Structure 1
Amino acid sequence: MENTRFYVDLDRQTLRQTDKPDNEISFINQMQDMGDHYMLAWDDATKNAAANPENGELLTIPPLSVLDPEGMSEKYGMSVSEMAGKSDFEIIVDQDAIAARRNGILPQIDMAGEKFIIDLRLQELRHAEYFFPVISLKSLDLTDDGWHYEAFYEPIMKQVVQLDPKLTEFPDGVIKIKIPNELGMDPVGAARIYGMAERDLLRRHPIQKELKAEVIPLSETQVPRLIQQNREQLQREHEQITRRMKPVKRPGF
């Protein structure tokens, strides 16, 4: 662009200056999506979008499907011929899925083999067949990076459970699950609840067709360490009790 070269980054949906990778231009935030092309107000001094679009030089940028057709085809599972005539939005966001969601059909997620309806308005997951049990999203813990929820889960009861902090054995049948946050579970619902631009949000977080909770064995969590600590504490307490109960040797007369 204007004698400055940029990489096309499909994952971030940006252009990155080849000799200054920190200089990025976002297709979502800094360009105007015209369907079959983008418009960019270019600032030649910064090699980026102009702070005031009225002062920038208008450039026409081809869509991502033209800039990197093979990459788009691989990333979104659509052949190059199928992408022809479609906008980037139509390729990135499943149009049947978004139509269903806009018609009130709530998304679902597989929780250890059972389907649950995602209802962000009520902040809950409801069993898809029986509508009970209900899992409150408030009962789940947000991960440190903020992108997922996780909790200990009992698949037979279909409920989130709290582990005994003093446990000394692995609890029967309990697993740990990890699911996306609201943006990953239902971007349309999240946009409505939090007042975000639906189209921009869907570009970053397209509707996922098959949502499935990640199942994490307890052996890969902090539970083994907790069990070991509790066992060691019990052993110390037992030794203390044994010492107190040991008869005191009395001197002979």
Structure 2
Amino acid sequence: MKRELPIINIHGTDFFIDVESLSLKERANENNFIPFGYMADVPGGYEFEYGLDSRNIHTIWTDEQSVRIKIPELVELDPFGMSQRYQVPMEQLKGKTDFEIMVDQQAFDLRVNKGVLPTIDIAGDLFYVVLDKDRLIPKDDPQSVGIPIPSFTQYDQVLGENVFAYDPKKREIKELDYLKITEIPKNLIAVRLPYSFSLDPVGWNWQNNRDAKTALKTSNLRMHFSSPKIPWEKTDLPDIIKENLEELRQRKVEKIKSGLTKPLVNKRNRGRRM
């Protein structure tokens, strides 16, 4: 049986407190929701600029009136929901902050206090995530140039979201000629790689002069990632190859029609005529 979510009233409007989606959902209009990720972390809770007309986060693109709102932490607003989602007994929530419940404290300690770098396994090869070099550096070859960490502008996402062609022998990301490719590359495999913030949110915060804890509650802080081989059939490459082959066929047909080339004669049917 689905439980009734707790409610918080903000300037006369009731909002459900939805721990699963980490948002406040307007009771009268659940399409209107306020993500906790858009709120500022402050001691004892969260703060945000609340638009009185939109009943949502106030933006600079509107001239609606707004007020500064502070709400308590989720462990206070919905302790049962927090206990269920993060698998922490209710009695252990007492005296804990949202950060202590929602963020892996061992991973945080390793990254922040001990300076350990996250790692990623790419098809059996282990790499360090080195954000200040914007690279994935092989653990067994620290002097290597490594692999550029994917960014939103670095590669065209032709193969699928965050999917790249990887050369396991050279340990390199390869760019394919999508306009000419007509067969599955034999020496390359497809892998999915996360972006910088997902791989190392703490390092990303430091690089951008932000507090190390910023956005960690919603980033699933981890110290190790796995990027296994993806079958080419599960990427967009087979469709690209099919389109290229069809285009080649069409070009050949057009050349034959225009008289630029002659159709091949079936030699098996050629013979002496009587």
Smaller-chain TM-score bracket: 0.7 to 0.9
Deviation of 1:149 after TM superposition, in Å, equals 3.5
2:119–2:223: 8 Å Cα contact kept in structure 1? no
- Residue deviations 1:145-179 (CA, integer Å, cap 9, x gap): xxx64311122332212234433332124222222
Considering only aligned residues, what root-mean-square deviation do their CA atoms show, in Å? 3.7
1:179–1:214: 8 Å Cα contact kept in structure 2? no
Deviation of 1:94 after TM superposition, in Å, equals 1.5
CA distance in 2: counterparts of 1:244 and 1:124, whole angstroms: 52
2:150–2:195: 8 Å Cα contact kept in structure 1? no
User: What is the aligned partner in structure 1 of residue 127 from structure 2?
Assistant: 116
Deviation of 1:77 after TM superposition, in Å, equals 4.1
Q: 2:118 aligns with which of 102, 107, 120?
A: 107
Q: Which runs of 5+ in 2 are unaligned?
A: 1-7, 58-64, 266-274
Does residue 7 of structure 1 match 2:28?
Answer: no
Deviation of 1:223 after TM superposition, in Å, equals 1.9
SS of 1:16's partner is strand
**TM-score normalised by structure 1 residue count:** 0.73
Does residue 213 of structure 1 match 2:213?
Answer: no
User: What is the aligned partner in structure 1 of residue 163 from structure 2?
Assistant: 150
**TM-score normalised by structure 2 residue count:** 0.68
User: What is the aligned partner in structure 1 of residue 93 from structure 2?
Assistant: 83
CA distance in 2: counterparts of 1:177 and 1:125, whole angstroms: 14
CA change 1:41–1:156 in 2 (3 A) is closer
CA distance in 1: counterparts of 2:23 and 2:244, whole angstroms: 50
Q: Which runs of 5+ in 1 are unaligned?
A: 247-253
CA distance in 2: counterparts of 1:45 and 1:237, whole angstroms: 62
User: What is the aligned partner in structure 1 of residue 77 from structure 2?
Assistant: 67
Does residue 170 of structure 1 match 2:184?
Answer: yes
Deviation of 1:34 after TM superposition, in Å, equals 3.0
Q: 2:148 aligns with which of 127, 131, 136?
A: 136
SS of 1:180's partner is coil
CA change 1:8–1:214 in 2 (3 A) is farther
CA distance in 2: counterparts of 1:210 and 1:16, whole angstroms: 33
Deviation of 1:234 after TM superposition, in Å, equals 4.9
Which one-letter code corresponds to 2:262 in the other structure?
Answer: R
Deviation of 1:225 after TM superposition, in Å, equals 2.4
Give me the identity figure in percent: 29
Deviation of 1:190 after TM superposition, in Å, equals 1.0
User: What is the aligned partner in structure 2 of residue 94 from structure 1?
Assistant: 104
Which one-letter code corresponds to 2:17 in the other structure?
Answer: V
CA change 1:82–1:212 in 2 (3 A) is farther
Deviation of 1:180 after TM superposition, in Å, equals 1.8
Which one-letter code corresponds to 1:105 in the other structure?
Answer: V
Range moving further from structure 2, 73-82 or 5-14: 73-82
